[in-house]
């Protein structure tokens, strides 16, 4: 069975609601108007009947043809019958006002009994409304006036036709409005459905037109934003795969080439040691790259978030650990190190904070000129712990500062693998700092040096006492 589209569902729902509304309004309007009209008509007939009865009571003996004309014609649009005390018809209405049936004998007798016969409105058919008014002289009943309403159904027929016509017009207008209204809602949803299918095939270029500022328009705008984000993520994924493949291929190519040369005798065994050292170095670089990729993946997938913030990290100890780890590299470039360390601690895993400082310090060492200097500062600032690593190296171009946090991005494209660096260190450091609720940034001037800084939530006294 074919499913209805939301476009058709909306039209059917709107038309259904409109149809029910028109029917309810027509029925209610007809009922209320009918009751009001009949009551007004009956009251007028009662007044007319009483007036005629009063006149007839004064000149009952003189009623004749002239009286017939004057009394019968006085009740506009109604048929008037006048009977004497024994029930004989004295005056009847003109032929054009007579109803299909004359008043019943029962009604005449009941009226001659002295009681006004005024039925409840709506108790009989609309074309049979009639009332009886006794004619009195003193306390005696000397006759009866019967007033019949004329052509009431004909009047209501016109009202019903008017209501039906207006209902049909309302339904037609509603159908047109429902069509355009439903299309305005369904079109963006249909476009989203088509765009989602294209996204499933890797095409993120399809966008949905934002036609309104309501919830549907907000949904369309959010969908377009999601498509842009997915397109950017797909581009980053492709770039990541390309960079990762390149970074992994480089050491593997070196290892494969040296091992092949040793095995086929191109490199004699007695001369193989330098090449084996090179193989060992490339394998270490390959292992470091794999470890960093796994570490970055765990951090980005929020794995181990709680472990990152567990423990306490005194920044003085962290800086000393980082310096001890990288002291061979500093000695190799004959760099001078200056430290300005306040006694500040942070709520974090010490190993992770050390990893951040090592990444910043290793970059400072890598881009410093031989014989230069590096300064590390640790202080409290605005309730936060701040770490700064300042070098006097080559610096970073202003237009590349924001890109250094990207995975595998390297400022110096011509840098050889011997100069170290996988392009993942700053990405990992940034992710760790974010998980710790801090901030990280760079301030650099080309040719003058770089200041890398990190701010982390300071360990409070209550935390220290615990």
pLDDT of residue 424: 75
Strand partners of residue 69: none
pLDDT of residue 179: 76
pLDDT of residue 376: 92
More confident residue, 379 or 229: 379
- DSSP-assigned states of every residue in 236-278: HHHHHHHHHHHHHHHHHHHHHHHHHHHHTTSS-GGG-HHHHHH
Domain spanning 207-303 has what CATH number?
1.10.287.130
Residue 392: which of 410, 415, 372, 377 has the closest Cα?
A: 372
Asked whether residue 303 carries a pLDDT value surpassing 70, the answer given is: no
Q: Is the distance from CB of 207 to CB of 224 less than 8 angstroms?
A: yes
Q: Is the distance from CB of 379 to CB of 307 less than 8 angstroms?
A: no
More confident residue, 392 or 160: 392
pLDDT of residue 393: 87
Per-domain residue ranges for the chain? 6-155, 207-303, 305-465
Q: Which two tokens stand for residue 319?
A: 């800086």
Most confident residue range from 169-178, 230-239, 411-420 = 169-178
Asked whether residue 70 carries a pLDDT value surpassing 60, the answer given is: no
Residue range 418-457, pLDDT digits in tens:
445 567 778 888 888 888 888 998 888 888 889 999 988 8
**What integer is the mean pLDDT of 80-87?**
87
Of 127-141, 259-273, 301-315, the one with minimum mean pLDDT is: 301-315
pLDDT band at 292 (very low <50, low <70, confident <90, very high): low
Asked whether residue 71 carries a pLDDT value surpassing 80, the answer given is: no
Q: Is CATH 3.40.50.720 correct for 305-465? A: no
214 backbone dihedrals φ, ψ, rounded to 5°: -90, -165
Residue 374: which of 359, 390, 387, 362 has the closest Cα?
A: 390
pLDDT of residue 152: 59
**What integer is the mean pLDDT of 165-170?**
78
> Directed axis angle between helix 425-435 and helix 350-366, to 10°?
150
**What integer is the mean pLDDT of 231-254?**
70
Asked whether residue 464 carries a pLDDT value surpassing 60, the answer given is: no
pLDDT band at 415 (very low <50, low <70, confident <90, very high): very low
pLDDT band at 81 (very low <50, low <70, confident <90, very high): confident
Residue range 199-237, pLDDT digits in tens:
777 777 777 776 667 677 777 788 788 887 777 777 766
Residue range 93-131, pLDDT digits in tens:
777 767 667 888 898 899 899 898 888 776 555 556 788
- DSSP-assigned states of every residue in 210-243: ---SSHHHHHHHHHHHHHHHHHHHHHHHHHHHHH
Q: Could you identify the residue written with the tokens 């960093």? A: 292
Q: What is the mean pLDDT of the chain?
A: 76
**Domain 6-155, second-level architecture:** 2-Layer Sandwich (3.30)
More confident residue, 246 or 406: 406
**What integer is the mean pLDDT of 30-40?**
71
pLDDT of residue 7: 65
Q: Of all helices (H) and strands (E), which one includes residue 388?
A: strand 384-391
pLDDT band at 154 (very low <50, low <70, confident <90, very high): low
């Amino acid at each position: 069975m074919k499913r209805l589209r939301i476009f058709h569902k909306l039209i059917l729902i709107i038309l259904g609601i409109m149809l029910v509304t028109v029917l309810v309004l027509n029925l209610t309007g007809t009922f209320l108007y009918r009751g009001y009209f009949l009551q007004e008509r009956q009251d007028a007939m009662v007044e007319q009947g009483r007036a005629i009865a009063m006149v007839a009571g004064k000149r009952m003996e003189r009623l004749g043809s002239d009286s017939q004309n004057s009394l019968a014609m006085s009740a506009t649009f109604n048929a008037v019958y006048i009977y004497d005390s024994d029930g004989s018809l004295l005056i009847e209405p003109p032929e054009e006002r007579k109803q299909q049936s004359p008043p019943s004998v029962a009604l005449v007798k009941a009226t001659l009994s002295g009681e006004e016969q005024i039925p409840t409105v709506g108790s009989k058919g609309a074309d049979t409304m009639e009332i009886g008014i006794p004619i009195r002289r003193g306390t005696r009943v000397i006759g009866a006036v019967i007033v019949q309403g004329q052509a009431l159904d004909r009047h209501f027929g016109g009202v019903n036709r008017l209501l039906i016509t207006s209902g049909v017009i309302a339904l037609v207008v509603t159908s047109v409005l429902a069509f355009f209204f439903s299309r305005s809602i369904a079109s963006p949803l249909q476009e989203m459905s088509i765009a989602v299918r294209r996204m499933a095939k890797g095409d993120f270029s399809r966008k949905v037109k934002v036609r309104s500022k309501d919830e549907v328009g907000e949904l369309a705008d959010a969908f377009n934003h999601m498509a842009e984000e997915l397109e950017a993520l797909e581009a980053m994924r492709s770039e990541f795969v390309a960079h990762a493949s390149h970074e992994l291929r480089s050491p593997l190519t070196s290892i494969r080439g040296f091992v092949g040369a040793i095995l086929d005798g191109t490199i004699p065994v007695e001369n193989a040691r330098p090449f084996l050292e090179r193989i060992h170095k490339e394998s270490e670089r390959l292992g470091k790259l794999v470890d960093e990729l796994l570490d970055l993946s765990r951090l980005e997938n929020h794995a181990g978030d709680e472990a990152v913030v567990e423990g306490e990290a005194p920044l003085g100890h962290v800086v000393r650990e980082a310096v001890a780890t990288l002291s061979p590299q500093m000695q190799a470039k004959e760099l001078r190190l200056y430290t300005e360390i306040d006694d500040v601690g942070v709520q974090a895993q010490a190993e992770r904070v050390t990893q951040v400082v090592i990444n910043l310090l290793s970059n400072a060492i890598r881009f410093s000129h031989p014989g230069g200097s590096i300064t590390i500062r640790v202080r409290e600032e605005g309730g936060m712990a701040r770490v700064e690593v300042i070098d006097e190296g080559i610096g970073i171009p202003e237009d590349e500062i924001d890109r250094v946090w990207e995975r595998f991005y390297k400022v110096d494209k011509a840098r050889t693998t011997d100069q170290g660096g996988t392009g993942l260190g700053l990405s990992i450091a940034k992710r760790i700092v974010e998980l710790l609720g801090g901030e990280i940034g760079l301030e650099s001037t080309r040719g003058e040096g770089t200041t890398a800084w990190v701010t982390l939530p300071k360990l409070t006294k209550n935390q220290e006492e615990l």
